Chain A
Amino acid sequence: MSPAPHDVPPANATFRQRVRCFFGERLGLESLTALAAKKHVPIHRATVFYFLGGMALFLFGIQVITGILLALYYKPSPDQAFESVRAIMTEVDYGWLIRSIHSWSANLLIGVLLLHLLTTYIMRAYRRPREFTWITGVFLLGLFMAFGFSGYLLPWNQLAFFATRVGTGIMGAVPFVGHELLLFARGGENVTGDTLARFYAVHVVILPLAVFALLGLHLYLVQKHGMSIPPWAAAKVGGERNVPSMPFVPHFLLRDMVGWYIALGILAALAALFPWELGHKADPFGSAPQGIKPEWYFLAMFQTLKHLPQHVLGIEGETVGVLFFNFCGLVVLLIPFVDYRAAQGRPRHLLNLLATLVVVGFIVMTAWGLLEK
């Protein structure tokens, strides 16, 4: 296959042009440049919501880099895990910074993803033909929550150990397959070194592979269908084609970068001012510490399960709770199909009411869990 005419530098080309042609000929950069030039971002009142996807991507990048650095020193065994994390915090140069950024960034990432999900819902960006963009996004949120759950145990401290015991114990409440799920999650009846090894493998191998695959699909779909314009923004100017936009490169990318730099500053400040705690080494034979709580994004579910009556309609309360949350997750996943008339701009009053209840419930239960001693 002969090179494209524009990949051949003219005789009087500058050094820069020659380098560009060299790589262009070999890597096909021209097509990428053309793709970037075509991509535009709509400008309307909710344009700021578009930054959330980029912000999540940036934070994920931070997670990958800091995660790789931590993996250089972390030792996934009950005898050494806690000590290795302590060594990272105290002996490895800037280890405290890397671990704190990794932990803070993980929490910010979940927060940004939840906001991304909510704003996407508000903009009805899931409507035809973007159903699979939504579905891959919901799965990605689930994967990142699994990242958080599996990573929480890795320092093998007291709080993480018992929180994992409670968390995996909840899996046992799933009807019919609960016990098998529990065994699968723990690698046995109890949280042990096997659980730690399993969680480590899930955290650094299985989840990253799954996320990269799903993220690739998600980004492809975003690229394929373009940025969704909220119906009300399009209606305001007489149709989607009249909505003004800006080129993604460099205009939107530069704005994205402002957000990323600010996020970097916030992460640095959080890591320096509130370094992530290490706690005390897990003692499987000790008693559970008082006020044991999971990470904040699981707190609403945990709090609900904790305060459910022992039996609801003759069924065990915890089982009812787990089934309810699974049902909620399924509804969220299938929203594009539940709100199938979104493309026609039909109202969705019932769905909005339920969504409001879920959001308010999430905030109230999380706040309750945080404040409860």
Chain B
Amino acid sequence: MTVIPRFLPSMLLAALVAGPVCAADEPPAHKPDEKALRAPALKDKVPLVEKENKCILCHGEKDLWEGERRRLYVSDKDLAGDIHWQKGLRCYDCHGGDSTTTDISKVHSEKAKFLTLKSRKNIPELCGRCHSDINYMRQYQPSMRTDQLAEYRTSGHGKRLEATGDPQVAVCTSCHGGRHHIYAVHDLESPVYPTHVSKTCATCHSDPKIMEGRQYHGRPLGHNQYEEWKQSVHGKALLEKGDRSAPSCNKCHGNHGALPPEIGSVANACGACHAKVAGLFANTQMKHKFEEVGLPGCATCHSNHLIRQPSDEMLGMGEDATCSKCHAQGQHGATLAGAHVARTLRAELDDLSQLIAEAETKTAEAERLGMEVSGPRFDLRKAVDARVNARTLIHSFDPGPVGRALAEGKQAASEVKERAEGAMHEYTARRVWLAVSLVPIAVVVLLLLVYIWRLPIPAATTANAPGDPTPEGRPPDNMERGTI
């Protein structure tokens, strides 16, 4: 602390030179749990104050920075979690300037190539200086992408930043942890770690104040996407089951080049994972019709963020069926023939489900009775697989292949049901067989007992061994008749 009075004028000058940086009006970034910040051991390895990095002598002193200037303070904790600091990069690597001197006129001088972040727009450019340079990045990670800045410029965020300089629009630091604690993407604490991405996006996109009045192609952007996504099959898979293959915001919208998919490309976004369904849908007339009338492909039936677990109830012309929304009223050019197909497919799908349920019940019943039905139980998977296939093929909206898959499933389920019933019949037959076989056994035993009782034991027999040639002794008188 003894250095403070000596450098106080320099520090004040530095603060003036640094100018209005973006921190004050920057949207709040994801706040990592402080307990999870880098352990002291790491700090020991990367001392925050180094002889050649004198910036920290001033910028590391909290008491020197007050009010709006507090943004120029850099704490130990910030740097300890920062991937750049961990990799050995220091203040001057990003900000320029001369860090070897405490002479304030030299530290922040143009001669020392000190960079002034005059506006929020400068942040992507500043990061891009290194992250767009493959020759530079290769030394840290040879396979690292260097197109982030280019992508960002095409994104909704980048375009808005460029066009309006909107102070609330997301820049690199908004998502990656903050100005001086940028986490590695694979770091569990990173705001862009797969399980955190959606929450990071939600810091702005769920804020009604920030999102108020914002539009895309004339449509309001809204602020309920995160809440809907959390309740969706994808959100539950990722947040509740920890399934990292489940998509969050960036899987469908892109990350650096984030934009809502266009009407015609919604199916492509879904198809990144649901390839088979997307392939089937791409070859249907329905797809072209949807594009003609401006319906967003998959999202028309499945919604966009609030995607529920699909069910058979979605098919057909019932109240809850999605088909009926258009085909019942002939909306968007939907035909009555289509309604008939939907109704037929639903009926057949229900038939198969009913048959599978019956086969399962019969198999379980036979198993409960102690019959060996592991074979039929295994074969029941064929029927279940055929149903899954049929549900997928429904996206072709062609009754032919769907009907064939359903027929295959029905045949497999019928066979299983038949075998399970056979096992149950055999169970009954075994009992009948047992009863029938016990009767002759009982009769023979009875006859033997009668015969034994009537067969007299010969007199004058003794318990001699065969080797004894001269048996002696007599049986008691009461042993004349056979005893049991």
Which residues does A use to contact B, with CB under 8 Å?
A: 35, 38-43, 86, 89-90, 96-97, 223-227, 229, 240-247, 250-251, 254-255, 257-258, 261-262, 264-265, 268-269, 272-275, 278
Contact = CB atoms under 8 A, between A and B. Distances in A.
B473 A242 contact: yes
Contact of A258 (B430, B452, B455): B452
Contact of B473 (A225, A244, A268, A273): A244
> Nearest 6 pairs between A and B by C-beta?
A226-B465, A244-B475, A42-B463, A272-B434, A245-B463, A243-B463
A103 B466 CA distance: 37
Contacts of B482: 246, 251
A127 to B, nearest CB: 14
22 contacts: A35-B466, A43-B457, A43-B475, A90-B372, A224-B466, A225-B465, A226-B463, A241-B473, A242-B462, A243-B462, A245-B461, A245-B475, A246-B479, A247-B457, A251-B455, A257-B448, A258-B445, A258-B448, A265-B438, A273-B434, A274-B370, A275-B371
A251 B434 CA distance: 29
A223 B466 contact: yes
Interface of B: 370-375, 430-431, 433-434, 437-438, 441-442, 444-445, 448-449, 451-452, 455, 457-458, 461-468, 471-476, 479, 482-484
A40 B471 CA distance: 10
Given A226-B467, A226-B468, A243 B473 contact: yes
- Please indicate which of the listed interface residues B374, B442, B465, B479 has the most CB atoms of chain A within 10 Å of its own CB: B465
A261 B448 contact: yes
A246 B457 contact: yes
Contact of A245 (B434, B451, B464): B464
Contacts of A223: 466
Nearest to A243: B463
A255 B473 contact: no
Contact of B452 (A244, A251, A261): A251
Nearest to B459: A244
Contacts of B434: 268-269, 272-273
Contacts of A273: 431, 434
Contacts of B431: 272-273
Nearest to B442: A265
Contact of A244 (B433, B451, B476): B476
Contacts of B375: 86, 90
Contacts of A258: 445, 448-449, 452, 484
A75 B458 CA distance: 53
Nearest to B483: A43
A326 to B, nearest CB: 35
Contact of B484 (A244, A247, A255, A274): A255
B462 A245 contact: yes
Nearest to A223: B466
A227 B463 contact: yes
Nearest to B452: A254
Given A251-B455, A275-B370, A265 B441 contact: yes
A262 B445 contact: yes
A250 to B, nearest CB: 7
Nearest to A229: B463
Given A41-B463, A244-B473, A245-B461, 6 more contacts: A86-B374, A243-B462, A254-B455, A258-B452, A272-B433, A275-B372
Contacts of A247: 457-458, 461
Contacts of B472: 241
A95 B190 CA distance: 62
B85 to A, nearest CB: 45
A258 B465 CA distance: 24
B452 A241 contact: no
A264 B438 CA distance: 9
Contacts of B448: 254, 257-258, 261
Contacts of B483: 43
A87 to B, nearest CB: 9
A225 B433 CA distance: 44
A257 B462 CA distance: 22
Contacts of A40: 461-464, 471
Contacts of B374: 86, 278
Given A268-B438, A278-B372, A261 B444 contact: yes
Nearest to B458: A247
